[in-house]
Amino acid sequence: MLEETGESVYHSALKRIEKTEMAWGKSHPRLVNDLRNLSDLFFVFGEYEKAKPLYWRILDIQQNGKKGILNPETVDTLLSLGEIYEAESDFTKAEQLLRAALGILTKNEIFGSEVEARILLKLYGILKLSNQQEKILEIENKLYVFLNNYAANVEAKATPSSTPVNPTVSTTAATVEQEKPRLISIYSAA
């Protein structure tokens, strides 16, 4: 399918990668964008066996850069790899990669991002598919905390600054059930 639709894009990406490698070396950070474009192209067309080595190469370049293993830029790469392994039904590998991405967000104190929500939802889906009840509850609680904090931020924006917002978060299952109507009303208003 790629051959029919994206042949010129594929060749263009390869030429850019080759030029960058010749100018800067095979592991220079300048390669990341070109490698990502090519790996994303393979990913979109479902050619995972071609996309995986490119994503692993990107990850290696990112983790060996100045920011090291906790580089926040690696989160998207880990997410892409996790999605590939999920599509291939390798749920164990997908879970490991997604948890690594979540760990990087946590270590860098990056909370409330769209990427965090995507990772949590992907993990939740993978754990449901692999029927891991204890881990499902853990991710449900993390999703609850994420959504409650998001709701508090929405409320804070809608509330005059003189009115305090109580963003207290509890992670008990009973609280999740009790809070659903309030959270739904906040999301509906957003």
Alpha-carbon distances of 7 from 38, 45, 53, 73, 152, rounded to whole Å: 11, 12, 19, 28, 48
For the record, the structure tokens of 47 come out as 């050619």
User: At a CB cut-off of 8 Å and minimum separation 6, what does 67 contact?
Assistant: 73
- Predicted confidence at residue 178, as pLDDT, reads 54
Cα 159–108–137 angle (5° rounding)? 75
- Predicted confidence at residue 176, as pLDDT, reads 47
Work out the number of other CB atoms within 10 angstroms of the CB of residue 83.
19
Return d(Cα 21, Cα 149) in angstroms, integer: 44
Alpha-carbon distances of 12 from 3, 37, 60, 98, 175, rounded to whole Å: 13, 10, 23, 31, 54
- Predicted confidence at residue 102, as pLDDT, reads 92
Judged by DSSP in three states, 137 sits in helix
Cα–chain center distance at 122:
8
- In a structure prediction context, what are the per-residue pLDDT tens digits for the chain, which is 190 residues long? 455 556 677 778 788 888 888 888 788 888 888 899 889 889 988 999 999 999 999 999 998 887 777 788 899 999 999 999 999 999 999 999 999 999 999 888 887 788 888 999 999 999 998 888 889 988 998 888 888 888 887 777 776 655 444 444 434 444 445 555 555 554 444 4
Cα 77–81–69 angle (5° rounding)? 45
- Predicted confidence at residue 31, as pLDDT, reads 85
